[in-house]
Structure 1
Amino acid sequence: MDYLDDYSYPYDYNYSLELNDTPLELPVFTHKSTCSMEVLCVCLLVVSVVIFLLGFCGNALVIWISGFKMKRTVNTTWYLSLAISDFVFCAFLPFSITNMAMEEWIFGRFMCKFASSVMFLNMFSSIFLLVVISVDRCVSVVFPVWAQNHRTVNKASIIVVFSWVFAIALSFPSAIFREVHTHMGRTICFNNYTWDQYSHKTVAVSRFLAGFIMPFVIIIFCYSIIILKLRTNRMTKSSKPFKVMTALVAAFFVCWLPYHVFVLLELNQQNYDHNILITGLKVGASLAAANSFLNPVLYVFMGNDFKQKFKNSVLSKMENAMGDEGRTTSRYLSRSSSMDTRASTHI
């Protein structure tokens, strides 16, 4: 059998193995990790640890403030749900970091399936919540009066539940196809797509469409509408909304595109160099994981003027950024229409 260098990097974006009917062999050799001698592996380890620390602490801070220190509003519901999703993902990163360093899976078959499923659950839930936030911002800007009268915490909570249910459904393939195998003293957690000849392609394409293309198109559409609306209402005196929107779209695109590209290339792995695919999947996975700590930065800390927030306490900074009454945009909206003065359009 041709065993590939299989790693479980953030999520389960590892190279898939093709197993035949050869019986499982008892370990004969003692596996020794060579990660410490590889520059790329060491760099990705450092990056993963940084992502874990920043993402874990940053999202925990968002959860603490939005969940326990602020009044429950539609905006805090979005931010709390997004932070919980990213926090859980970061909480499971140590499994991937350990596996990356040891180049071996030591946590058993159940955790192989469970950790992977939970990470994909949070991948999809995080992406879907980003889409929800984008749509909510678009509706608030285009229909401020309607949004003021119909945006409720209960409705927001229902939308969040549906987002998580949809994410759970899309995370099931990890529990189904994830397996553990021991060969030559090395235990690996890998994707076993040998059940059906189309299973690998079905999973990869569905994740690409539901986890990137559709969300990205919706986000681009929403922020395009917002920009047009802001220009129509002569709000171009402040460049802050445009900078924030550009950062949001760019971060989403940069973090997720490389991973999806190499996952699709893996479908025809015989046509590409094995080392290039492995390297691309590793780097792409790390970039995708970075989105989990960029979210609180982009959606919270960039919400208001940085210099002003820097002078305030952390609580005040996040309350200003996450509050329903967005000062900057609502102030501009009030100039264009007296009916829009109460609109919550903080971007």
Structure 2
Amino acid sequence: MDYYSYEEFENYTYDNESVVVYKSNCPGNVLCVSLLVIIAVQYVLGFCGNGLVIWISGFKMKKTVNTTWYLSLAISDIVFCAFLPFAIINTAMEKWIFGLFLCKFTSSVLFLNMFSSIFLLVIISIDRCVSVIFPVWSQNHRTVRKASVVVVLAWVLAIGLSLPSAVFRDIHSQRGRSVCFNNFTSPQTHKIIAMSRFVAGFVVPFSVITICYSIIILKLRMNRMTKSSKPFKVMTALIATFFICWLPYHVFVLLETNQQHFRQDVLKAGLQIGTTLVTANSFLNPVLYVFMGNDFQQRCMSSLLSKMENAMGDEGHEGNG
């Protein structure tokens, strides 16, 4: 993710041997430290939550269309989480220490998983909508094979949209400090890429998700298919979470295309906060899309209880021996 698209080179000091050393402002910045703590917590929650989803949906449940969606989404989110330590270290040190290849690679992978995760959320929304509107057709035509093909297509599209990070990501070094940033060839290129990401990564997905869940809610209420208010609350939470997690990031990315009109410290703080909200989406997805399902809850509880029983049984066996 673009933690730094532009940089101010300042805050240099000299050590006893008159060597220029850059001193990070982060340790003394309340906002920076707070965001680092939040991202670190999100990293742990996201890794554990998505790891549990992969374990349950990949090894403990029968392979179905739904488990295909959940497994793919969890893989996307856990890979996103796996690369967060690079961003955490970069934010804390306010310099890039991993070289040009990882500068390009980590950014590309993060965008790849950002888009793949978003596209999978859209696919899940459309699938749920079709299942409610055309239940008979859906039952006859929804297959694991077709779902797998759709997942592959989503990843291919995500790869295409993540390529600009590999092309334009670069390193700038000054006085021993290296910064990984977006080295766009022109302001127009910057605006085109930012706008395409906004449209493909937010406007279209948010519109589709909102329309699909609105149709589902309307259909359920018209047919009185459920007496519980839980489905409506969950769907509202899904829409609100997507909006809150993604809109601030895209807003500040678009503002950055005209950064001469805004204070750079405001843009930098906005991008950091926006990226933190994006990161939150990686651990909220398993909660909202997976753990809310009764079948997954039951399988999860039974698997955990089975593991605990086996562990206690082994301990008891060892103790008796």
Q: Same fold (TM over 0.5)?
A: yes
1:217-256, aligned counterparts within 5 Å? 217-235=207-225, 237-256=227-246
Q: Is residue 150 of structure 1 aligned with residue 141 of structure 2?
A: yes
Letter in 1 for 2:180: C
Q: Secondary structure at the match of 1:187?
A: strand
Q: Which runs of 5+ in 2 are unaligned?
A: 10-17, 305-321
Q: Which residue of 2 aligns with 1:294?
A: 284
Q: Is the 8 A contact 1:12 1:116 kept in 2?
A: yes
CA distance in 2 between partners of 1:276 and 1:181 (Å):
22
Q: Which of the residues 117, 121, 126 maps onto 1:130? A: 121
Letter in 2 for 1:159: V
Letter in 2 for 1:36: P
Q: Which of the residues 160, 167, 180 maps onto 1:176? A: 167
**TM-superposition CA deviations, 1:99-158 (whole Å, max 9, x none):** 111111110000000000000000000000000000000000000011110000000000
1:60-99, aligned counterparts within 5 Å? 60-99=51-90
Q: Which residue of 1 aligns with 2:318?
A: none
Letter in 2 for 1:71: K
Cα distance, 1:185 vs. partner? 2.3
Q: Which of the residues 13, 18, 30 maps onto 1:39? A: 30
Q: Which runs of 5+ in 1 are unaligned?
A: 1-10, 20-26, 319-347
Change (3 A) 1:316 1:229: farther
Q: Which residue of 1 aligns with 2:307?
A: none
Q: Which residue of 2 aligns with 1:15?
A: 5
**TM-superposition CA deviations, 1:158-195 (whole Å, max 9, x none):** 000000000000000000010011112211100001x2
Q: Is the 8 A contact 2:47 2:82 kept in 1?
A: yes
Q: Which of the residues 283, 294, 300 maps onto 1:314? A: 300
CA distance in 1 between partners of 2:100 and 2:271 (Å):
23
Q: Secondary structure at the match of 2:173?
A: strand
Q: Which residue of 1 aligns with 2:271?
A: 281
Change (3 A) 1:199 1:17: farther
Letter in 2 for 1:202: I
Cα distance, 1:64 vs. partner? 1.0
Letter in 2 for 1:262: F
Letter in 2 for 1:252: F
Q: Secondary structure at the match of 2:21?
A: coil
CA distance in 2 between partners of 1:272 and 1:83 (Å):
37
Q: Is the 8 A contact 1:15 1:281 kept in 2?
A: no
Greater helix share, structure number: 2
Q: Which residue of 1 aligns with 2:13?
A: none
- TM-score, reference length from structure 2: 0.88
Sequence identity percentage: 68
Change (3 A) 1:152 1:218: same
CA distance in 1 between partners of 2:22 and 2:7 (Å):
19
Q: Secondary structure at the match of 1:30?
A: strand
- TM-score, reference length from structure 1: 0.82
Q: Is residue 198 of structure 1 aligned with residue 188 of structure 2?
A: yes
Letter in 1 for 2:149: I
CA distance in 1 between partners of 2:226 and 2:61 (Å):
31
Q: Which residue of 1 aligns with 2:178?
A: 187
Task: Count residues in correspondence.
Answer: 296
